[in-house]
Amino acid sequence: MRERKRKFKRYDLMREVTFRPTYGATEYFSGAACNLSCEGMGLDVHDFRFIMYENLELVVALPGNEAPVSLSGDIMWKRQEADRCLAGIRFRMKDIFMQESAVGKIFSSSNIPANYMYHNDSEYIMQEETVKTPESQRDDPKRRPGKLPNKLGFIKQYNENGRTCNVTFRLLKEMAAHTQNVTIVGDFNDWDVAKSPMTRLASGDFVITLELDANKEFRFRYLIDGHRWEIDWYADKFVRNDQGSKDSVVMV
């Protein structure tokens, strides 16, 4: 445990919540939101494996016939208690006004005035769970929490053995307008154009998660509708290929 000063009050409000990882998941999971503040909340679920610093889409239910509110946030700590999985979520939305409005609706549904959500005592102390990282992992650059991209770039989740990494690739809808199907083709699948089809999300983006060997670089491209090639504009780097065009590169 560590102490940390906060400018927001926390309230033990219990709300039903459905959630899913922002990158790649299509299924929603159910849990309970608790210990809410303007900046985040605790999430309590059964039999779900949280991943540190992963971004979640959250839908919080309100009492009565009120419409639920949507939020998103990053996992800042996690803890396992038998079959209960606990995590601390820090809200992070592109539109801060939408975020404040959503949080305000949650508190308003519990008859908590907006001005009560802030703590005016500069000496107010709130304890927060932290994850203890083994000494052997603290200087491992693969485990340093970098700034999460907002739908841009790769999501790299290194496995505990350190030898492999789950990499989520995303082709944005802006690059795949009117597209029916997309496959990812590269060194990791022997450039087989049919081996790794991507999944289309409701947003229009195409995603896929592949387990790749760590400490390697892989060239790849996207094949759109079987005839158009596209690079990943948020790749780690680019290299020339034998055809005189460019390949994207992911560095694992």
Task: Please indicate, yes or no, whether residues 121 and 174 belong to a single structural domain of this protein.
Answer: no
If asked whether residues 245 and 166 sit together in one domain, one would say yes
Q: Which two tokens stand for residue 225?
A: 């509708």
What confidence score (pLDDT) does residue 87 get? 93
Is residue 50 situated within a structural domain?
Answer: yes
How many domains in the chain?
A: 2
Residues 159 and 198 in one domain: yes
| pTM (two decimals) | 0.47
CATH code of the domain containing 176: 2.60.40.10
For residues 45-53, give the mean pLDDT: 85
Q: Per-residue pLDDT for 221 more than 90?
A: yes
pLDDT (mean) for 221-231: 91
Confidence of residue 244 (pLDDT cuts 50, 70, 90): confident
Q: Name the burial class of residue 172, with classes exposed (0-12), middle (13-18) and buried (19+) by CB atoms within 10 angstroms of its CB.
A: middle
Q: Is residue 223 part of a domain?
A: yes
140 belongs to a structural domain: no
Which tens digits make up the pLDDT trace of 101-112?
A: 888 888 888 777
Return the CATH number at 49.
Answer: 2.40.10.220
pLDDT exceeds 80 at position 201: yes
Residue 142, domain member (yes or no): no
Q: Write the pLDDT tens digit of every residue in 117-172.
A: 654 433 332 333 333 334 433 334 333 333 334 445 688 888 878 889 999 998 88
State whether 11 and 100 are in the same domain.
yes
Q: Do 27 and 75 sit in the same domain of this protein? A: yes
pLDDT, tens digit (0-9, with 9 covering 90-100), for 3-30: 344 456 777 778 899 998 887 666 888 9
Task: Report whether pLDDT(190) > 90.
Answer: yes
Q: Is the pLDDT of residue 195 over 80?
A: yes
How confident is the model over 30-59, as a mean pLDDT?
87
Averaged pLDDT of the chain: 78
Considering the domain architecture, whether residues 123 and 191 belong to the same structural domain is answered as no
pLDDT of residue 171: 87
Residue 136 within any structural domain of the chain: no
Is residue 14 in a domain?
Answer: yes
Q: List the domain range (segments joined by +) for residue 32.
A: 2-128
Residues 180 and 114 in one domain: no
Is residue 192 assigned to a domain? yes
Q: Are residues 96 and 11 in the same domain?
A: yes
Residue pair 15/106 in contact by the 8 Å Cβ criterion: yes
| Whether residue 79 sits in one domain with residue 13 | yes
Domain final residue, candidates 128, 162, 183: 128
Q: Are residues 194 and 238 in the same domain?
A: yes
**Cβ(199)–Cβ(151) below 8 Å:** no
Q: What percent of the chain has pLDDT over 90?
A: 31
- 203 shares its domain with 156: yes
Based on the domain organization, do 11 and 101 belong to the same domain? yes
Domain-located, residue 133: no
* Length of the chain counted residue by residue: 252
Query: What confidence score (pLDDT) does residue 8 get?
Result: 64
